[in-house]
């Protein structure tokens, strides 16, 4: 069976190199935390999303106001943005947004504004 998170040889080499540079890792972590905080604040302003605080590299959002989470994922995909939707009943009304670079957040917010 395929493992859920396969890593290529190139990615493994890059990860091993990054682990040898603690300053680089600290800078990447700090940038991720800053962008996660910014993304969370922006998602809170979207009237049909209820984001949950996160300590990870993604933010889980409840899709509210009668909107369909799967349709939201599909609409964003048509605009070139990928978010995660779950079919399991416990998370059916939720989407997961990965934290990326500031320009990724900006693109997401632009598309969410267009959907409103």
pTM, 2 dp: 0.86
Helix (H/G/I), strand (E/B), else coil: 58: strand
Helix/strand number for the chain, H first, E second: 4, 4
CA–CA gap between residue 43 and residue 51 (Å, rounded):
6
CA–CA gap between residue 111 and residue 113 (Å, rounded):
5
Which residues of the chain, if any, have pLDDT below 50?
none
- Determine contact, residues 18/26, Cβ cutoff 8 Å: no
Per residue in 31-53, pLDDT tens?
A: 999 999 999 999 999 999 999 99
CA–CA gap between residue 4 and residue 38 (Å, rounded):
29
């Amino acid at each position: 069976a395929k493992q859920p998170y396969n890593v290529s040889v190139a990615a493994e080499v890059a990860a091993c190199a990054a682990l040898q540079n603690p300053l680089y890792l600290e800078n990447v972590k700090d940038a991720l935390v800053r962008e996660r905080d910014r993304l969370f604040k922006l998602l809170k302003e979207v009237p049909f999303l209820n984001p949950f605080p996160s300590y990870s590299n993604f933010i889980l959002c409840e899709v509210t106001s009668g909107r369909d989470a799967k349709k939201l994922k599909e609409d964003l995909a048509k605009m070139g943005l990928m978010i995660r939707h779950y079919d399991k009943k416990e998370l059916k009304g939720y989407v997961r947004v990965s934290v990326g670079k500031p320009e990724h957040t900006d693109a997401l917010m632009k598309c969410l504004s267009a959907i409103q």
